[in-house]
Structure 1
Amino acid sequence: MMDYDLWLILIEISNYQKIKLIKKYKTAENVYNNFENILKENEVVRKKLKNFQKEDLNYAVLKLKEVIAREKINYITYANPLYTEKLSGILSAPFFLFYKGNIDVINNKSIGVVGARKCSSYGIAVTKLLTKELITNNITLISGGARGVDSIAHKTALENDGYNICVLGCGIDIAYPTENKVLFSKIAEKGVVISEFLPGTRPLRENFPKRNRIISGLSSGVVVTEASEKSGSLITARLTLQQQKTVAVVPGSILYAGSSGSNKLIRDGASICTDKEDLKSLLSLEHIDIGPMNFTPEKSEILDLITDSPIHIDDIFKNTSVDRGALYALLFEMQIKSEIICLPGNYYVKTI
């Protein structure tokens, strides 16, 4: 039996044209049954599908059905009300999404947390801290499953029993990066992993900007914790701003190239996230608690270690009894209060 949705997914016309056909004919089956008339009436489709017969895709549809059955993949198209409600406003909306997990999660209020693949210890600490606060406010975390900030945010959401939406830049049957295969499986147990690419699609460079527009489309707002000027997270942020949604950016050292992109987002109009009240008001959170953690030594002792001469994070750690995670949290708090700054290479100095 023909799977009409998969047939329309496989036709090589634009998402825009597929959505236009669904708006007119309501279902993929109706598109299939009226295909000859569509070719006569729609010049764009006729030119794109020159010498194409609708039966030409029968074998490809069968093969795709076998793959999604074997890999336990589900899919949703624009004809589904659940899909239309959430994604109809996205720039160049995809006609379909393949997914693993609970697709209903896309209806949750979600905030994107994005940033650099090669992030600093500061970026790691900030990402963990802010993601945890989002989860405690019953916000669903959405990110792109990449190395660095994305993976840290996803893992932190899982550790705090939160919901995840992971948007891939490759086929949903491909784990990229490969070390995240288990992570993606865990996300799908409670949340959802989604992709607009056909199974088997490799993680090509051009796929990721397309992926980013879906992150921005599903998000109520986006937090950028750390990003260089070449970071793909800047695309997500700018698309989010175009949709008049909030982009909250954590400032970084002006001496660290890894923060240059995020700092320039602030310069160009994104909102700055300097303390807990910023995060609360920018993202309309019910409660927030990223105050200092309970630990010893006291903050004054840390400030005694950090002087006008740069000191490495490892040396700070060696000279305190504080847990490394707690230390990162404290350093983050001190930076957003402009008490210290982080230099390239994880060196810290007291502000003058």
Structure 2
Amino acid sequence: MNYELWLILIDITSFQKIKLINKYKTAENVYNNFEEILKENETISKKLKNFQKDDLYYEVLKLEETLYKKNIGYITYSNPLYKEKLSGILNPPYFLFYIGNIDIINNKSIGVVGARKCSNYGLTVTKLLTKELITNNITLISGGARGIDSIAHKTALENDGYNICVLGCGIDRTYPSENKMLFSKIAEKGVVISEFLLGTAPLRENFPKRNRIISGLSDGVIVIEASEKSGSLITARLAQQQEKKVIAVPGSILYAGASGSNKLIRDGASICTDIEDLRVLLSLEHIEIQPMNFTPEKSEILELITDSPIHIDDIFKNTSVDRGALYALLFEMQIKSEIICLPGNYYVKTI
């Protein structure tokens, strides 16, 4: 019996599981003392009415096999690495599933978050600030969502940096669907993590939970464009509660998509008006970043892809690049944050 997976699968809260671990030290001890726990803890006893500890035996075996086949690891509150990073957040999850190198959660890291529906200004700023972080050997943390999150992850990959991507669904689900290859690339050097059981859908209520993990793992958070209802503000406020650095990029007062991030500045977040501000706020060294060079094929594609979305079929009709090479170039250009892919195979320029 894998006792850690057994405790992961038991239908009680993370708070209750952590309380049991604090008392009994290991999941195996919880299992061995389970009858006593049911007698002593009325809340757990009511929740697990008619439950026997061996009822999960086959589910544990099935989960263990699935994790092995899909190369998914897990870490629990019993692990010192986990406890050091996440014990300080409100209601820490008992476990995290992960794909990739979990050790990088020890790295110095900064969260970069923002709107899903962001402006070209927001995308450009995200690329600029993320490059500066990666160039200074800082790990990028974000939530893998469309918009600011995806651009930050792709920019980190382009600059050979480390990525931590925190999902709001089961780690075996891909949301948004167009980021499947992106998540795979992140896991090659960095790590993709989730606090949800396998198969969990990307439900609306999952994302505020996800945001507390981003704030918990990061040493600070940068907010780039957020409306007043943006989940990014949750991440920022949680970071402030943990007395971590919160930096916001100012936007136009006429743009509703920046009203939340602007008010973060009003309410005490540090303002970032240029790269030098970021260097001072995070005590970064100045390292000159080399400008991008485009191949003739990329230049041809970038002439077709503008600020207005264009469908892939129209790109193919108007370029000399064959379809196979076109798909490869488009993906490479997404990784390098030169373009982004919108739903329905539409592309738009980000630089």
TM-score (normalised: structure 1): 0.81
2:141 & 2:154 partners in 1: Cα distance?
12
* Alpha-carbon shift at residue 290 of structure 1 (Å): 7.8
How far residue 160 of structure 1 moved from its aligned partner, in angstroms, is: 0.2
Deviation (angstroms), 1:288: 5.6
2:172 match: 173
Partner of 1:201: 200
2:188 is the alignment partner of 1:189:
yes
The Cα shift of 1:99 comes to: 0.1
- Structure 2 equivalent of residue 18 of structure 1: 17
1:9-158 to 2 correspondence within 5 Å? Answer: 9-158=8-157
User: Secondary structure of the equivalent of 2:126?
Assistant: helix
- Pairing 1:256-267 to 2, within 5 Å after superposition: 256-267=255-266
Rounded Cα–Cα distance in structure 2 between residues aligned with 1:81 and 1:290: 37
* CA distance in 1 between partners of 2:287 and 2:175 (Å): 33
SS at match of 1:173: coil
Asked if the contact 2:171/2:196 (under 8 Å) is kept, the reply is: yes
Q: Which residue in the other structure is 2:298 paired with?
A: none
Q: 1:73 to 1:25 in 2, by over 3 A?
A: same
Residues 129 and 275 in structure 2, CA contact (< 8 A), matched pair in contact too: no
Distance (whole Å) between structure 1 residues aligned to residue 9 and residue 52 of structure 2: 13
- Offset at residue 188 of structure 1 (A): 0.4
CA offset at residue 313 of structure 1?
8.0
Q: TM-score, normalised by structure 2?
A: 0.81
Q: Deviations over 1:113-145 (max 9, x none)?
A: 000001101000000000000001110000000
CA offset at residue 287 of structure 1?
3.1
* CA distance in 2: counterparts of 1:288 and 1:90, whole angstroms: 33
State the one-letter code of the partner of 2:141: I
| CA 1:271–1:290: 2 relative to 1, 3 Å | farther
CA gap of 1:124–1:294, structure 2 versus 1, over 3 A, is closer
The answer on whether the counterparts of 1:276 and 1:289 sit within 8 Å (CA) in structure 2 is no
* Shift in Å, 1:277: 3.1
User: Who wins on radius of gyration, i.e. which is larger?
Assistant: 1
Q: Which moved more, 1:167-176 or 1:63-72?
A: 63-72
The superposition leaves residues 53-89 of structure 1 with CA deviations (integer Å, 9 ceiling, x where unpaired) of: 1111112212212221221111111111111111111
Match for residue 285 of structure 2? 286
Question: What SS does structure 2 have at the residue aligned with 1:254?
Answer: coil
Deviates most, 237-246 or 97-106 = 237-246
Question: In structure 2, how many angstroms separate the alpha carbons of the residues matched to 1:210 and 1:294?
Answer: 37
Mean alpha-carbon deviation: is it higher for 232-241 or for 206-215?
Answer: 232-241
Which runs of 5 or more structure 2 residues have no equivalent in the other structure? 294-305, 309-332, 334-351
User: In structure 2, the residue corresponding to 1:287 is in which secondary structure?
Assistant: coil
Task: Report SS of the residue matched to 1:112.
Answer: strand
Aligned-pair identity (%): 79
Mapped to 1, the partners of 2:59 and 2:205 lie a distance apart of 24
Maintained 8 Å contact 2:227/2:260: yes
Greater mean alpha carbon deviation, residues 39-48 or residues 142-151: 39-48
The equivalent residue for 1:330 is none
Give CA-to-partner distance per residue, 1:161-199, whole Å, 9 cap, x none: 000000000000111111100000100000000000011
Q: Deviations over 1:277-301 (max 9, x none)?
A: 321222232336589x799xxxxxx
Question: RMSD across aligned C-alpha pairs, in angstroms?
Answer: 2.0
| Counterparts in 2 of 1:165 and 1:285: CA distance versus 1, 3 Å | same
CA distance in structure 1 between the partners assigned to 2:292 and 2:65 by the alignment:
54
CA distance in 1, matches of 2:158, 2:139: 13
Deviates more, 1:119-128 or 1:16-25: 16-25
The one-letter code matched in structure 2 to 1:267 is R
CA shift for structure 1 position 25: 1.2
Q: 1:275: how far off? A: 2.4
In structure 1, what is the Cα distance between the partners aligned to 2:287 and 2:39? 59
Residues in 1 aligned to 2:182 and 2:270: alpha-carbon distance in whole angstroms: 31
- The verdict on how the C-alpha distance between 1:195 and 1:313 changes in structure 2, with shifts beyond 3 A counting, is closer
Tell me the equivalent position of 1:306.
none
1:208 maps to amino acid: F
